[in-house]
Amino acid sequence: MRVLLLGSSGFIGQSIANSSPNNIHVTGTYKSRESSARGDDKIQVDFLNTEIDWSKLIEGFECIIVAARANSTDPKTRTNLSRNACTSFENLLSAIDSSSDSKHLLVVNGSLSYGDRGEDLVNSDSKLNPSGFAKSYAIAEAPFREYQSSGGKIAIIRAPWVLGNGSWYQQMYDSMDHIPLLSGGNQWMSIVSLEDLSDYIWDCVINQSTGVLHPKLTYRCRQKEFASIVAGITQKKIRNYGFFRFLGWDKQMKESVVASIRLNDGKGDVSENLESKGNLTQYLQKIHSDF
């Protein structure tokens, strides 16, 4: 199978490329920084360019994975880039529909599309109410949602907190001299390791899965429990982040870290049991040994 991977130089994209099965030929795209990930071919493409000839780019590929995201350091620019991405992805879908070959599309998006859900168990058909970064990202995702609802051959994977070396974890929990307890820490965190997410994505590619999908979680807990686990590993003290500590934060970033999303991965309460907690602890210890 020949697969086109958009965003192969990103955090998730590199992991997808590195874990590709031997019988799959992966061509990865990058914007400016060439991916160091394993791959058969790499091409430079700015997916935000609305003038891309998608028909030519996707020719010969049986599957297209979209792991690219329009990101920026501020909400206004993030939103403007997402509008460009929306137009570009509309053109991509038009090219897929016009292609003489059937193509399977897989898109990786975040669970923040569901918004802050409190204690609810969030299912794949739950109503969308984008929060935090997803207020911008949802603009770019709109064409894919419409394509899925109209019966297109597409899988939309809603990834929660993706934990791995080089992720949000280093910035929020490792780089500081303390462990943050965010607004009391009662919000739910649904966590999946980078490697487990990548394996799940390839399973979906091989099985040509369609619909809105949730990956199998590594662990599901409240933020205060996660902070406690990290504190036990790092021997750092926990510090409460109340109203005043958030004053200088990007509004979308603040909404993202305090959103409570108890994602349903279809495995019942397995992701909340002691074995899953032990798996998370071992994974965090491995991350620190890699540091």
Predicted confidence (pLDDT) per residue in 114-130, tens digit: 999 999 999 999 999 99
Instruction: Give residue 50's pLDDT.
Output: 85
| Alpha helix segments (H runs only) across the chain | 11-18, 54-57, 75-98, 134-149, 168-169, 194-207, 223-234, 251-258, 274-290
pLDDT for position 39 = 65
The whole-number pLDDT of residue 171 equals: 86
Question: What 3-state class would DSSP assign to 6?
Answer: strand
Per residue in 215-253, pLDDT (tens digit) is 999 999 999 999 999 999 999 999 999 877 777 788 898
**pTM score:** 0.93
Phi, psi of 181 (to 5 degrees): -105, 110
Q: 3-state class of 50 per DSSP?
A: coil
The structural domains of the chain, ordered by start, are: 2-162+193-217 (3.40.50.720)
Contacts of 171 (CB under 8 A, 6+ apart): none
pLDDT at residue 36, rounded to an integer: 63
| Res 41: pLDDT | 85
pLDDT of residue 193: 97
Greatest pairwise CA separation for the chain in angstroms: 59
Q: How many C-beta atoms lie closer than 10 Å to residue 283's C-beta? A: 19
Nearest to 104 by CA among 212, 210, 213, 215: 210
Low pLDDT (below 70) residues in the chain: 33-40, 291
